[in-house]
């Protein structure tokens, strides 16, 4: 059967790819021009004639892999996307092959059961009691619930849809009232502004929370921001916290923000896309103190949990807020039925939805939750060590003391120097990092995602940067 022989070609090529990447034999990044890639991969001819199999597949996969950015390379330091554990990648293969769109139970009982179980596991890490399968309606207790989505951006949107629905119960019939607002720090991820746009309340309806020099919310100033919204005749439908922020990876004071929201009966949303995984670590869990006060929390498994893209969770303290968030009907799926499981389709924007839980589950099942926790501890520790190292170097400075696995630093010089250095590093392909603007200054940004990156890599990077700076000075 050609499936087996082709699969073997691909798996063998991936195995070699992994070895070349982890041993730093190939560049972490190679920005090949698009025309060349389209040409080299013979895209047009394969589309016309088909037949990508065996020998041609082998050639194709090899060329394709050379056109990837190698996340498995320890000098991959640029973005928050996970270096996936192979078990998660195998899960993606299983999911792709079986293709069970599990948002309705009958289209994927196994995947739906795993999603239900894994969501409950996440809820318990938050400290919430998951809704039991049956009899939750007769109980006085508040039970939590959730759903997996294709990414954190969609998860943020989903949570804010639930927040709006609680405040405006007839919103799906009448549309938005004109007085809706959001409270959020400037540092929040752009998907929040995008969600506000999609929700139709607009960016101007986002009122900023006061932050300190590091971009972290100042709890004493929450009341002032709230009053500003009220004095303009608006109603805040949610207050948003970062856990952690995207640019520098710092956590907002969740406990104080949560207490404030309780006092005002305001929906508290925590964007934990990157940093909620700290909940798994005994050492770093305290960064998430106050998380239980949230009405909603999002948490990406494809960031700090070694899971391949995409797998994000929307978690809510009261499962009913998510069950009520959407209310469209489709007679071919939404109808009374006796079934041995549960549907997720009423909780998401998506209709067809992949079995995302399998990827996270298989990673957990391979290394155990303890394995993920150890990984997080290691990466956070390495980041602090790198920070201390930069502190000792006279020509370098860091933006803030890191709390997670994100570190922003700059070389003495102006903003354009930082950008130039990054460009050169990427062009040479030995290191891949990003940049971020903090307090109107440009920094180079390291995100320590790879479980093999170590201080030698950081020292090599510094050495390389010094060399590049020297070359620039000599060239002038
Ligand atoms: C990455 C990130 C997002 C977006 O998540 P995607 O999965 O990339 O859509 C949202 N918020 C924060 C804080 C993030 O770090």
Question: Whose CA is closest to atom 3 on ligand 1?
Answer: 152
Phi, psi of 271 (to 5 degrees): -90, 95
The answer to whether 461 touches 75, Cβ cutoff 8 Å, is yes
Least confident stretch, 66-80, 136-150, 165-179: 136-150
What pLDDT score was predicted for residue 137? 65
The answer to whether 267 touches 234, Cβ cutoff 8 Å, is no
What pLDDT score was predicted for residue 337? 76
pLDDT at residue 332 is higher than 70: no
Cα dihedral 274, 276, 280, 284 sign: positive
What pLDDT score was predicted for residue 1? 58
The pick from 79, 150, 153 for probing ligand 1's pocket by mutation, whose C-beta has the most ligand atoms within 8 angstroms, reads 153
Q: How far is the CA of 244 from the centre of ligand 1 (A)?
A: 10
In the chain, the percentage of residues whose pLDDT exceeds 90 is 92
What pLDDT score was predicted for residue 139? 72
Least confident stretch, 44-58, 199-213, 316-330: 316-330
What pLDDT score was predicted for residue 140? 78
pLDDT at residue 328 is higher than 90: no
> In the numeric block, which tokens belong to residue 194?
């995008």
Q: How far is the CA of 199 from the centre of ligand 1 (A)?
A: 18
Torsion angle in degrees (nearest 10) through CA of 10, 12, 17, 23: 170
Position in ligand 1 atom list of the atom nearest CA 312? 7
pLDDT tier at 71 (50, 70, 90 boundaries)? very high
Question: Which contacts (CB < 8 Å, 24+ apart) does range 324-333 have?
Answer: 324/162, 324/165, 324/166, 325/158, 325/161, 325/162, 325/165, 326/161, 326/165, 326/172, 327/172, 328/172, 333/104
Q: What is the mean pLDDT of residues 433-453?
A: 97
pLDDT at residue 334 is higher than 80: no
Q: How far is the CA of 287 from the centre of ligand 1 (A)?
A: 18
Q: What is the mean pLDDT of residues 424-452?
A: 97
Identify the residues whose C-beta falls under 6 Å from ligand 1: 80, 151-153, 156, 189, 191, 242, 246, 271, 273-274, 300, 312
The pick from 84, 149, 189 for probing ligand 1's pocket by mutation, whose C-beta has the most ligand atoms within 8 angstroms, reads 189
What pLDDT score was predicted for residue 331? 65
Position in ligand 1 atom list of the atom nearest CA 244? 13
What pLDDT score was predicted for residue 135? 63
- Of residues 359 and 137, the one with the higher pLDDT is 359
Question: Whose CA is closest to atom 8 on ligand 1?
Answer: 152
Predicted confidence (pLDDT) per residue in 27-61, tens digit? 999 999 999 999 999 999 999 999 999 999 999 99
Position in ligand 1 atom list of the atom nearest CA 245? 13
Least confident stretch, 66-75, 284-293, 311-320, 327-336: 327-336
pLDDT tier at 476 (50, 70, 90 boundaries)? confident
Q: How far is the CA of 133 from the centre of ligand 1 (A)?
A: 30
pLDDT at residue 338 is higher than 90: no
Position in ligand 1 atom list of the atom nearest CA 151? 7
Q: How far is the CA of 189 from the centre of ligand 1 (A)?
A: 7
pLDDT tier at 330 (50, 70, 90 boundaries)? low
The pick from 248, 274, 312 for probing ligand 1's pocket by mutation, whose C-beta has the most ligand atoms within 8 angstroms, reads 274
pLDDT at residue 457 is higher than 80: yes
Predicted confidence (pLDDT) per residue in 140-149, tens digit? 789 999 999 9
User: Can you tell me the distance from the alpha carbon of 124 to that of 270, in angstroms, rounded to the nearest whole number?
Assistant: 16
The answer to whether 59 touches 67, Cβ cutoff 8 Å, is no
Structure pTM? Answer: 0.97
What pLDDT score was predicted for residue 117? 98
The pick from 78, 217, 273, 445 for probing ligand 1's pocket by mutation, whose C-beta has the most ligand atoms within 8 angstroms, reads 273
pLDDT at residue 333 is higher than 90: no
What pLDDT score was predicted for residue 136? 62
pLDDT at residue 336 is higher than 80: no
pLDDT tier at 377 (50, 70, 90 boundaries)? very high
pLDDT tier at 133 (50, 70, 90 boundaries)? confident
pLDDT at residue 87 is higher than 90: yes
Q: How far is the CA of 82 from the centre of ligand 1 (A)?
A: 12
pLDDT at residue 323 is higher than 90: yes
User: Can you tell me the distance from the alpha carbon of 139 to that of 124, in angstroms, rounded to the nearest whole number?
Assistant: 19
What pLDDT score was predicted for residue 475? 80
């Amino acid at each position: 059967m050609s499936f087996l022989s082709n699969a073997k070609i691909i798996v063998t090529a991936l195995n070699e790819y992994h070895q070349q990447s982890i041993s730093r034999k190939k560049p972490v990044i190679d920005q090949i021009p698009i025309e060349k890639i389209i040409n080299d991969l013979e895209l047009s001819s394969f589309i016309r004639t088909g037949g990508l199999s065996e020998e041609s597949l082998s050639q194709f996969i090899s060329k394709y892999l050379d056109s990837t950015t190698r996340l498995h390379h320890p000098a991959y330091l640029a973005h928050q996307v996970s270096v996936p554990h192979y078990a998660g990648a195998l899960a993606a293969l299983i999911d792709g092959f079986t293709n069970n769109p599990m948002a309705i139970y009958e289209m994927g009982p196994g995947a739906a059961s795993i999603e239900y179980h894994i969501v409950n596991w996440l809820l318990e890490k938050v400290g919430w009691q998951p809704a039991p399968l049956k009899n939750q309606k007769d109980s006085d207790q508040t039970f939590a619930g959730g759903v997996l989505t294709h990414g954190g951006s969609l998860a943020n949107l989903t949570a804010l849809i639930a927040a709006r629905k609680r405040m405006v119960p007839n919103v799906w019939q009448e549309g938005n009232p004109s007085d809706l607002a959001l409270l959020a720090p400037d540092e929040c991820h752009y998907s929040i502004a995008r969600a506000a746009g999609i929700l139709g309340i607009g960016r101007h309806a986002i009122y900023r929370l006061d932050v300190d020099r590091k971009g972290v919310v100042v709890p004493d100033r929450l009341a002032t921001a709230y009053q500003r919204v009220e004095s303009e005749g608006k109603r805040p439908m949610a207050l948003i916290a970062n856990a952690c922020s995207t640019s520098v990876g710092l956590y907002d004071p969740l406990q104080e923000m949560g207490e404030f929201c309780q006092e005002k009966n305001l929906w508290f949303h925590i964007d934990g896309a990157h940093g909620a995984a700290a909940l798994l670590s005994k050492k770093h869990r305290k960064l998430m103190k106050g998380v239980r006060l949230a009405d909603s929390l999002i948490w990406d498994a494809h960031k700090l949990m070694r899971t391949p893209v995409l797998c994000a969770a929307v978690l809510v303290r009261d499962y009913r807020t998510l069950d009520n968030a959407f209310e469209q009907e489709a007679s071919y799926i939404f109808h009374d039925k006796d079934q041995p499981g549960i549907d997720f389709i009423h909780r998401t924007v998506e209709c067809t939805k992949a079995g995302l839980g399998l990827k996270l589950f298989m990673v957990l099942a391979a290394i155990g939750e303890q394995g993920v926790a150890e990984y997080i501890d290691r990466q956070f520790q390495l980041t602090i060590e790198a920070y201390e190292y930069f502190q000792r170097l006279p020509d370098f400075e860091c933006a803030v003391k890191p709390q997670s696995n994100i570190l922003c630093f700059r070389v003495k010089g102006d903003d354009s120097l930082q950008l130039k250095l990054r460009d050169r590093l990427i062009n040479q392909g030995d290191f891949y990092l990003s940049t971020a603007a903090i307090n109107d200054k440009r920094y180079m940004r390291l995100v320590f995602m790879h479980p093999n990156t170590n201080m030698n890599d950081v020292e090599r990077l510094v050495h390389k940067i010094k060399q590049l700076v020297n070359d620039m000075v000599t060239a002038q």
